[in-house]
Amino acid sequence: MRLLIYLMGYTLANVLAILERELRSDRHRRYLGLGRRFKINRRYQECVGPGDLPGHCKHPLFCAMNVVGSSKNPVEHLCVIEKTFVGVCCPDDILLSNIVGSRIIMDLPAGGEDYDEQQNFTMGCGIFIDEKPQQSSAKEWPWLASLYDPETSKPFCGGALITDRHILTAAHCTEGRTPSDMRVRLGEYDYARPDETRARNFEISEIKEHEEFELSTYFNDIAILTLTNATGFNTYIWPICLPPLNKNYVNETVIVAGWGQISYSGNTSNILRQVEIPVWEHERCADSFVQTINEKTICAAAYEGGRDSCKGDSGGPLLHQLPNGRWVIIGIVSWGIGCGQKGQPGIYTRVDSYIPWILTNTIAK
């Protein structure tokens, strides 16, 4: 009733114009979800969406389907947000609705803290569509990307899917390469069994290395790959969330995964492997190396040695699960001295130090 009163005297053209202003204003606010606890995908009051699907009122830009365009009578699915904005009734389970024109995720890359705790895990980044597998599989880490040589089909680096077209990786993985020198594989688990999963291969249209990347020191070791074609999302392929800013991970247990060498100077792995490791205090890490360890890095490995990333894991994500259940990429495998040596952890590019750069080279384009 309040919505009808609010819209009384407005024609459909007026309402659509209001929505368009909402879209434009929200585009300028898309970055705020990473700078503070602005909820990009916040759900407001319950409502009934197109197709009589249960949903919640949301800002139009942040609904994963075109509610107005898919409705015979768009006014029926409009709502008011906090007595200020015109929203749309966005179905909760777009992934399951099979409505023409719907998309699983519209606002990417997204921050892991943009979602409430225990929010229904049917949408958004950093989640498992099926229940989390009990053993390692492609479904366990659906955001893992493998970078491989198209001539040999052998992987040489890893990466992480952050939108339907962007892979976050290490700049040293792309140094000296052109887009035609590389391919990206998503949804892979076992390279020795090509028909095991729904893996998909993608060509690359652009490589964007950080402008201040230094090959001699690996400072600013971060790059973004743009896929020629956008990927769809399923149980094998799903985007990871970006991390909150300035969070302290010291002594937190994190996970690194990839197809790298099983041991130093050993063979690379055909199957996706993972290991749990703790994050080190920065001062303790810096004291372990002759090289400069700057504040834009994270150090992680087993204190006793033996558990670490290795050659071939470069560019892959260092993963952490937030209290709300979302997985975020807090680091990118960068470099180390050997693999698994006691007293010398692996060095990871700290992702939250580069979030403005990531946004500039993804959603700002």
Cα dihedral sign, 7-11-13-14: negative
Give the whole-number percent of the chain exceeding pLDDT 70.
77
Among the ranges given (34-38, 195-199, 318-322), the one the predictor scored with the smallest mean pLDDT = 34-38
- pLDDT value of residue 147: 97
Asked which of 86-90, 147-151, 241-245 is least confident by mean pLDDT, the reply is 86-90
pLDDT exceeds 50 at position 27? no
Q: Does 267 score more than 90 pLDDT? A: no
Q: How confident is the model at residue 263 (pLDDT cuts 50, 70, 90)?
A: confident
Beta partners for residue 49, in sequence order: 53
Does the pLDDT of residue 115 top 90, yes or no? no
Q: State what percent of residues in the chain have pLDDT above 90.
A: 44
Tokens 């006793």 — which residue?
Answer: 304
Q: Report the range out of 43-47, 238-242, 266-270 with the highest average pLDDT.
A: 238-242
Q: Which residues pair with 68 in a beta bridge?
A: none
How would residue 92 be classed by pLDDT, with cut points 50, 70 and 90? confident
Catalytic, 25? Answer no
Q: Which residue type occupies 209?
A: E
pLDDT above 60 for 364: no
Q: How much is the average pLDDT of 33-60?
A: 69
* Domains of the chain, first to last: 2-107 (no CATH), 147-231 (2.40.10.10)
pLDDT at residue number 51: 79
Q: Which of 314, 320, 334, 352 is catalytic?
A: 314
State the average pLDDT over residues 27-35: 39
Contact 333, 274 (CB under 8 A): no
Query: Which stretch of 31-35, 213-217, 272-276 has the lowest confidence by average pLDDT?
Result: 31-35
Give the mean pLDDT of the chain.
81
Encode the chain in three state secondary structure. Answer: CHHHHHHCCCCHHHHHHHHHHHHHHHHHHCCHHHHCCCCCCCCCCEEEEHHHEEEEEECHHHCCCCCCCCCCCHHHHEEEECCCEEEEEEECCHHHHCCCCCCCCCCCCCEHHHCCCCCCCCCCCCCCCCCCCCCCCCCCCCCEEEEECCCCCCEEEEEEECCCCEEEECHHHHCCCCHHHCEEEECCCECCCCCCCCCEEECEEEEEECCCCECCCCECCCEEEEECCCCCCCCCCCCCEECCCCCCCCCCEEEEEECCECCCCCCECCECEEEEEEECCHHHHHCCCCCCCCCCEEEECCCCCCCCCCCCCCCCEEEEECCCCCEEEEEEEEECCCCCCCCCCEEEEEHHHHHHHHHHCCCCC
How far is 262 from 268, CA to CA, in rounded Å? 6
Model confidence at 38: pLDDT above 50: no
Q: 172 an active-site residue?
A: yes
Active-site choice (164, 221, 308, 352): 221
pTM > 0.75: yes or no:
no
Q: Are 167 and 145 in contact (CB under 8 A)?
A: yes
Using CB atoms within 10 A of its CB, is residue 32 exposed (0-12), middle (13-18) or buried (19+)? middle
Each residue's pLDDT tens digit, 174-198: 999 999 999 999 999 888 887 766 7
Is 27 or 204 the better-scoring residue by pLDDT? 204
59 is catalytic: no
Which of the following is catalytic: 56, 166, 172, 210?
172
